[in-house]
Amino acid sequence: MNWDLLADKIYVKTLASAARNVGRIPYIAENGVFDDQSEKNISWWTNGFWAGQLWQLYSRRPDDLLRECAQEVEYKLDRSLTDYMGMDHDSGFKWLLTSGASLALTGSIDSKNRLLLAAANLAGRLNPNGNFIRAWNDEGGKKAGIAIIDCMMNLPLLYKASELTGDPRFRAVAMLHAGTAARYFIRPDGSVRHIAVFDPSTGRYTGELGGQGMGQGSRWTRGCAWAVYGFALSYFHTGKGEYLAAAKTAAESFKNGMEGRRYRVPADFSQPKDVDYEDDSAAAIAACGLLELAELTGEVKYRDFAEGLVAFLAEERCDLDPERDGMITRCSVSYNDKRHNHHLIYADYFFTEAVLRLAGGGIRLW
């Protein structure tokens, strides 16, 4: 696979989409046309990924349109930053890929301020009874004991905040949650839970919920991918071996789940063989995590697996037509949704990140 050529094609397509979608924050492309979450839900968890994709490509070849569209997303997210109920565990997804990228590439002081505000909010979600970062908000506290594996990908916001401020408390909060996640999200067989439930008053672990997987105890593929990349990133930022071990365990579980599937990633590794639900987003996220592991360990097997996943996406699951919005074509938000095998913006982002890494470029946003 010629990764440089593929990266150029992604650049051309994304630039064309940016020109058509000035001011939009896309989540899903319907029939080749992006929707706009800035009009629907400014606090939606995926609202940073389009800007992240634009900034990744800007780092390869600067263009004013890419920068301006990415900055517009960041400005619009100020409405979320001031909405208490809209601020949850996904602040890293929103502000690392917007404000963090802007800070790295333009040096914006305003972007630094936004990033630190988001980091302070995320740190404040730590429940010291159990040392976990609470996931979603609710009015009555029924969700106060819920933590999810996705949060591992948001911890780099806290590591970055400690780097920027010299204040170790952000890093300490991230490591408390990562330690809890390593103990309670990785099952004895190496598979990964989506949702862990704790007693918010005592911190006692009380069980798991099925979440976006097929059901309780199933092997949700995107959750496994979050674990591969998320634990690898915590190891990158801290050097703590417990996190590397968790990332390797999740990577092995992901590989075992792919037996007999070539590189077609299902929505859940536990799903029946006659069910055709795929999740290309899990493939792209896992590929990024595997590339991170390859760099951290020097083990070629991780890069080889990542290359196979990304090449399959490029050859069989990617729309590179510049006249159509959206790239990656067969994703699933949740196994029990009615709709499957459609486009999702975060699949595009992680696919772009993986391709740029394979081409020897891109910018570290995590």
pLDDT (tens digit, 9 = 90+) per residue, 169-228?
999 999 999 999 999 999 999 999 999 999 999 999 999 999 999 999 999 999 999 999
Question: Which residues make Cβ contacts (< 8 Å) with residue 107, sequence separation at least 6?
Answer: none
* Cβ count near 137 (within 10 Å): 17
Residue among 280, 285, 250 nearest 265 (CA) = 280
Answer yes or no: CATH 3.40.50.300 is held by domain 3-358: no
Distance, CA of 64 to CA of 107 (rounded, Å): 16
Q: Are 86 and 126 in contact (CB under 8 A)?
A: no
Residue pointed to by tokens 């590989």: 255
Distance, CA of 304 to CA of 288 (rounded, Å): 12
What's the pLDDT at 244?
A: 98
Cα dihedral 71/75/81/87 (nearest 10): -50
Instruction: Tell me the per-residue pLDDT of 280-315, one tens digit each, with 9 for 90 and over.
Output: 999 999 999 999 999 999 999 999 999 999 999 999
Distance, CA of 245 to CA of 239 (rounded, Å): 11
Strand pairing partners for 198? 205
Instruction: Tell me the per-residue pLDDT of 121-169, one tens digit each, with 9 for 90 and over.
Output: 999 999 999 999 999 999 999 999 999 999 999 999 999 999 999 999 9
Distance, CA of 65 to CA of 74 (rounded, Å): 14
Where does the pLDDT of residue 279 fall: very low under 50, low under 70, confident under 90, or very high at 90 and above? very high
Given a cut of 90, whether residue 39 has pLDDT beyond it is no
Distance, CA of 331 to CA of 274 (rounded, Å): 17
* Cβ count near 89 (within 10 Å): 25
Cα dihedral 51/89/220/309 (nearest 10): 30
Distance, CA of 305 to CA of 152 (rounded, Å): 22
What's the pLDDT at 59?
A: 98
Question: Which residues make Cβ contacts (< 8 Å) with residue 356, sequence separation at least 6?
Answer: 7, 56, 57, 60, 362
Given a cut of 90, whether residue 339 has pLDDT beyond it is yes
Distance, CA of 351 to CA of 280 (rounded, Å): 9
For the chain, what are the domain ranges? 3-358
Distance, CA of 297 to CA of 91 (rounded, Å): 28
**What are the φ and ψ backbone dihedral angles of 167, each rounded to 5 degrees?**
-100, 115
**Kind and range of the H or E run holding 208:** strand 205-209
Residue among 181, 64, 83 nearest 133 (CA) = 181
HSE-CB of 266 using CA atoms within 13 angstroms: 24
* Cβ count near 134 (within 10 Å): 23
Given a cut of 90, whether residue 234 has pLDDT beyond it is yes
Cα dihedral 194/171/203/182 (nearest 10): 40
- The 3-state DSSP class for residue 223 equals helix
Dihedral over Cα of 209, 349, 102, 36: its sign: negative
Question: What does pLDDT average to over the chain?
Answer: 98
